[in-house]
Each structure stands twice: as structure tokens, then as C-alpha cells.
């Protein structure tokens, strides 16, 4: 698989959401939340944005990515651990019985149109 193909497909999905929400008005910024467990390379996602927006109301817009860290909560001791490695193990007691609290997000947070108004996308977790 070519590097960046995953991010390019994600950009096309973000573009589709932006086009539906902007109603043909020019867009200046689109902000997305991307969880660490989504395996998205943020600089590649931002780079690919320029490939999908030409000749659309989103041409020239900036893709702003909020990187959301991965956090787990232990079912045994209740401790929350921010993951720095892809190991789903409680940082306090070592248990592998954990629930993911954050890190799975992929959400268009907001779309800023040129008039200065902001259209906020409906909160939902986009699975891609």
C-alpha cells in the first residue's frame, strides 16, 4: 500500500462532510479530532488535504487537527493511564482488563465559513 493512501481516503471523507455542511459557501478552516488509536499520521493528513480541495468551496482552507491522546481506565483499580506505547495495560496495577476512554475519535469538530460563521458538525464517531 502506498504511504498516505489511508490519509487521502480520510481527507475525501472529511471533504464530503464539509461540502454537505457548507452549503456552497467558501470555507476557511475545518477542524477535526483524531484519536491516537486511529493510526493517522497527522502531517500526512494535512498534506493530503491540499489534494482533495481544489475546485471546491473548501479550496485554500486549512485542515486543523486536534490530536487526542489514548487513555485507558482499569476495570480493576480504576486508574486512568495515558498510553505512550500501544500496550493496553494499566499503568498502576498492570492489569490488561481495561476500557478505552479516549483515542478512538475521528470527528469533524467545526467548519468555519468565510463569512465568519461556524457550522458545527453533529457529534458522532466516524468509523473509517
pLDDT for res 118: 53
Residue written as grid cell 481495561: 98
Q: Which residue has the higher pLDDT, 35 or 5?
A: 35
Distances from the Cα of 97 to the Cα of 7, 37, 53, 71, angstroms: 31, 17, 43, 13
Q: Is 40 within the bounds of a domain?
A: yes
pLDDT at 5: 76
Percent of the chain past pLDDT 90, that is, above it, reads 81
Which set of grid coordinates corresponds to residue 102?
479516549
Whole-angstrom Cα distance, residue 109 to residue 62?
Answer: 13
What are phi and psi for residue 95, nearest 5 degrees? -70, 145
Does any domain span residue 60?
Answer: yes
Residue 128 lies in a domain: no
C-alpha cell at position 55: 475546485
CATH number of the domain to which 11 belongs: 3.30.2320.50
Q: Is a pLDDT exceeding 80 seen at residue 26? A: yes
- Does any domain span residue 127? no
* 34 and 105 Cβ atoms separated by less than 8 Å: yes
Specify if 87 maps to a domain: no
Q: For 46-72, what is the mean pLDDT?
A: 97
pTM: 0.81
Instruction: Examine residue 90 and state whether it is found in any structural domain, yes or no.
Output: no
pLDDT(123) > 90: no
Q: What is the rounded CA–CA span in Å between residue 64 and residue 46?
A: 8
Beta strands at 62-68 and 27-35: parallel, antiparallel or unpaired: parallel
Inside any domain, residue 91: no
- Residues 59, 13, 15: CA angle, nearest 5 degrees: 15
- Domain hosting 108: range is 5-69+102-119
The count of structural domains within the chain is 1
Amino acid at each position: 500500500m502506498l504511504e498516505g493512501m489511508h490519509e487521502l481516503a480520510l481527507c475525501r471523507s472529511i471533504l464530503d462532510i464539509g461540502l454537505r455542511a457548507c452549503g456552497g459557501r467558501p470555507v476557511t478552516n475545518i477542524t477535526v479530532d483524531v484519536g491516537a488509536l486511529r493510526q493517522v499520521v497527522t502531517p500526512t493528513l494535512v498534506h493530503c488535504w491540499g489534494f482533495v480541495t481544489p475546485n471546491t468551496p473548501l479550496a485554500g482552507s486549512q485542515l486543523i487537527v486536534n490530536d487526542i491522546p489514548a487513555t485507558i481506565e482499569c476495570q480493576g483499580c480504576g486508574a486512568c493511564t495515558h498510553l505512550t506505547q500501544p500496550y493496553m495495560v494499566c499503568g498502576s496495577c498492570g492489569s490488561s482488563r481495561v476500557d478505552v476512554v479516549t483515542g478512538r475519535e475521528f470527528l469533524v469538530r467545526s467548519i468555519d465559513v468565510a463569512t465568519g460563521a461556524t457550522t458545527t458538525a453533529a457529534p458522532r464517531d466516524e468509523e473509517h
